[in-house]
Amino acid sequence: MSNEVAALSIQGLTAGYGGPPIIVQVTLTARRGAITAIVGPNGAGKSTLLKAVAGLIRPTAGRVFVEGKEVTNQPVETLVRRGIAYVPQVENIFPDLTIRDSGLSPRFQGLIWERIEQIRSTNVAVLIVEQNTRETLRHAQWAYVLVLGQNRLEGSGQDLLENDEVVDLYVGRLS
């Protein structure tokens, strides 16, 4: 429902690491009961966006709202109390585990998606940043394509899966 307060609303967020901004005027909404995805090539600024939301880096412009309340520029400890925390992506995790042990196997990915769908069905807002674009878009009610730190495209996961640019650049065609 469009008049429902979004779980997370990011409006025109600009942030970086002191040099030129890495993300520029990014806008995004995540609703309860929906899987919202952020996809885009390596270096697009996906993790940087999350760091700016979680207060690890300070936005130079734009605003962040959680459940309708503004949290822009709040210190990390305040954000954590509001349930916003950042778990860093470190070298793509668990280098010592085999594929079987870590669940990077396709079967385990299926179980993870089942679990995410269960969580979504309890009216939680799920915002997901994932490398497997095709699978992510299959599950996402709404997805944002971030390129060079900016909003490039958005739409239902299904629509983006049928979008030529998305397919050519990020998904690949099934042969």
Residues that bind Mg ion (CB under 5 A): 46-47
- Among the listed residues 27, 23, 60, 63, the one whose alpha carbon sits nearest the alpha carbon of residue 45: 23
d(CA 45, CA 53): 12
What is the DSSP code (8-state) at residue 141? Answer: S
- Shorter beta-carbon distance to ligand ATP: residue 36 or 48: 48
> Residues 14 to 33: which contact ligand ATP by CB under 6 A?
17, 22
User: CA 77, CA 152: separation in Å to the nearest integer?
Assistant: 32
Under the binding rule (CB under 6 A), the answer on residue 13 touching ligand ATP is no
Quote the DSSP letter at residue 103.
Answer: T
Q: Contacts with ligand ATP in 76-135 (CB under 6 A)?
A: 89
43 interacts with, out of ligand ATP, Mg ion, none, CB within 5 to 8 A per kind: ligand ATP
| Strands ordered across the beta sheet of 126-129 | 126-129, 35-39, 142-147, 150-155
Does position 143 bind ligand ATP by CB under 6 A? no
CB of 22 to ligand ATP, least distance (A): 4
Residues that bind ligand ATP (CB under 6 A): 17, 22, 40, 42-48, 89
